[in-house]
């Protein structure tokens, strides 16, 4: 449930509601909407829900108490109708513009990263990607350069101005990765690694959470809920394909997830057609499709010499292919900007979400 405070509610009244929630053994999360404060009540409420709702609605400064129908709460549109917009250095994610995350699958050498970083920055990428700690299916495959790669990523950020994103695989790597990287990525294999989700929930960096290759959209949003409820509201979702019976592609890209997620959650949505398809020539059409259905951005793998790459050689774009992709994607974003925003998402007349089943004082 969430508590909608009156427009005129004082600080003391807001504090009073929060301490009442704590005294009930629940956790309050407030969200300052454009016009008023809304406080989510999170925890195992059980059979006392109705009673708690009516007690909260009687407190001073409370306008309305509304249940949240979804199992994910803080990430739901019901609680937070406005889109979450994430700013990191000069990049803005989720504001209606096109976020382009590009760079190699793995950081292999300093030269390879700098050449890629310069080229993607010049072509219009907004965020630089590069794997330092790599989750590889085989223990005999290249596992990444580790901290050496983090240093190169930080150097590439300093020379291009682009924020950098890299994957974290274990809770004990979170601090070192957050020291070098601007955005922390959770890979598909770790989407339900709850100790890792809690650990990135405590870090002062945005987190990009990739969809588990066997996860439903609800499981994915519950994983995002772990991060947000641990204290980090800056979560980006990344659809990267799910495993189906199809074998021509590495995974099956679920583009329906994009408008669905915009309906269910306020978090920004990125699509990764590189890992979804596993094939270089399929990256461009699916990137265009992703932007056309309303993705906030795209993540693609780019390498100066993809055939010689130490990981994911078949799916990385050449520098030229990335430049061409950019020139085609920008007009698609311009044509489709705002097209997919469902009017029911605009919220109720209270300006806070619209389930309407709330307990009102009036
Ligand atoms: C990656 O982006 O480097 C990666 C390993 O992707 P995924 O977790 O989607 O396989
Ligand atoms: Mn890869």
Give, as residue ranges, everything with CB less than 5 Å from ion ligand 2: 105, 312
Instruction: Among the bound ligands, name the one nearest to the CA of residue 189.
Output: 1
For residue 187, which atom of ligand 1 is closest to its CA? 8
Considering every ligand atom shown, identify the ligand nearest to the alpha carbon of residue 311 and give its number: 2
**Distance from the alpha carbon of residue 188 to the mean position of ligand 1, in angstroms:** 6
Give the sheet arrangement for strand 37-42, strand by strand. 27-32, 37-42, 2-5, 62-66, 359-360
**What's the pLDDT score for residue 356?**
37
Low pLDDT (below 70) residues in the chain? 340-362
**How far does the centroid of ligand 1 lie from the alpha carbon of residue 62, in Å?**
45
Instruction: Bin 168: left if φ > 0, else alpha if -120 < ψ < 50, else beta.
Output: beta
The residue whose CB lies within 8 Å of the most ligand 1 atoms, and thus the one to mutate among 132, 141, 183, 185, is 185
The rounded Å distance from CA 284 to ligand 1 centre is 18
Distance between Cα 154 and ligand 1 center (Å): 20
CA-240 nearest atom, ligand 1: 9
pLDDT of res. 240: 98
Give residues (CB < 6 A) around ligand 1.
105, 131, 135, 167, 187-188, 210, 240, 272, 275
Q: Which residue has the tokens 């010499």?
A: 305
Instruction: Find out whether 250 and 241 touch, Cβ atoms under 8 Å.
Output: yes
Give the DSSP H or E segment for 158. helix 147-160
- Predicted confidence at residue 64, as pLDDT, reads 96
The DSSP 8-state label assigned to residue 316 in this structure reads P
Rounded distance from Cα 312 to ligand 2 centre (Å): 5
Q: What is the pLDDT of residue 100?
A: 98
Query: Which atom belonging to ligand 1 lies closest to the Cα atom of 135?
Result: 5
**Six-digit token string for 334:** 């311009």
Would you say 163 and 128 are in contact if contact means Cβ atoms under 8 Å apart? yes
Atom 10 of ligand 1: nearest residue by CA position: 188
List % helix, strand, coil for the chain (3-state, nearest 5).
Answer: 40, 20, 40
Q: Could you tell me which of 297, 303, 255, 245 has the C-alpha nearest to residue 276?
A: 255
Please state the atom number of ligand 1 nearest to the C-alpha of residue 210: 9
Q: Which among 137, 214, 275 is the best mutation to test ligand 1's pocket, defined by most ligand atoms within 8 Å of the CB?
A: 275
pLDDT at position 61 = 97
Mutation pick for ligand 1 pocket among 103, 137, 144, 188 (CB with most ligand atoms within 8 Å): 188
DSSP one-letter code for 212 = P
User: What is the whole-number distance in angstroms between the Cα of residue 13 and the centre of ligand 2?
Assistant: 50
Say which residues have a Cβ less than 8 Å from residue 166's Cβ, sequence separation at least 6: 129, 130, 131, 132, 133, 149, 150, 153, 177, 180, 181, 184, 185
Token pair, residue 208, equals: 């990009």
Tell me how crowded residue 234 is: count the other CB atoms within 10 A of its CB. 22
Greatest distance between any 2 Cα atoms in the chain: 68
Which pLDDT does position 256 carry in this prediction?
98
Distance 119 CA to ligand 2 centre (A): 19
* Nearest ligand 1 atom, CA 106: 3
C-alpha torsion 282→288→294→298, nearest 10: 70
34: helix, strand or coil: coil
Q: What pLDDT is recorded for position 362?
A: 40
- Are 190 and 219 in contact by the 8 Å Cβ rule? The answer is no
């Amino acid at each position: 449930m969430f508590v909608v405070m009156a427009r005129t509610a004082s600080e003391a009244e807001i504090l009073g509601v929060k301490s009442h929630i704590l005294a009930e053994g629940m956790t309050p999360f407030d969200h300052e909407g454009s016009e008023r404060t809304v406080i989510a009540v999170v925890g195992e409420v059980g059979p006392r829900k109705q009673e708690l709702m009516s007690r909260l609605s009687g407190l001073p400064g409370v306008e309305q108490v509304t249940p949240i129908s979804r199992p994910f709460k803080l990430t739901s549109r019901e609680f937070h109708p406005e889109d979450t917009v994430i700013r990191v250095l000069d990049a803005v994610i989720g504001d209606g513009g096109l976020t382009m995350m590009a760079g190699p699958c793995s950081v292999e050498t300093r030269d390879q990263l700098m050449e890629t970083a310069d080229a993607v920055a010049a072509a219009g990428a907004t965020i630089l990607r590069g794997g330092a700690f790599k989750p590889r299916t085989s223990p005999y495959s290249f596992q990444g350069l580790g901290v050496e790669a983090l240093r190169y990523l930080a150097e590439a950020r300093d020379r291009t101005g682009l924020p950098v994103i890299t994957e974290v695989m274990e809770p004990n790597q979170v601090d070192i990765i957050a020291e070098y990287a601007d955005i922390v990525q959770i890979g598909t294999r770790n989407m339900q690694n709850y100790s890792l989700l809690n650990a990135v929930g405590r870090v002062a960096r945005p987190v990009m959470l990739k969809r588990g290759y066997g996860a439903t959209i609800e499981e994915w949003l519950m994983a995002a809920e772990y991060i947000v409820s641990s204290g980090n509201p800056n979560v980006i979702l990344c659809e990267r394909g799910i495993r189906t019976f199809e074998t021509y592609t590495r995974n099956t890209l679920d583009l329906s997830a994009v408008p669905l997620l915009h309906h269910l959650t306020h978090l920004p949505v990125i699509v990764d057609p590189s890992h979804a398809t596993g094939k270089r020539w399929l990256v461009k059409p699916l990137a265009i499709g992703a932007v056309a259905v309303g993705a906030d951005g795209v993540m693609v793998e780019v390498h100066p010499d993809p055939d010689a790459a130490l990981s994911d050689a078949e799916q990385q774009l050449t520098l030229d292919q990335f430049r061409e992709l950019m020139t085609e994607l920008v007009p698609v974003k311009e044509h489709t900007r705002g097209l997919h925003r469902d009017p029911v998402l605009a919220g109720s007349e209270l300006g806070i979400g619209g389930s309407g089943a709330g307990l009102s004082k009036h």
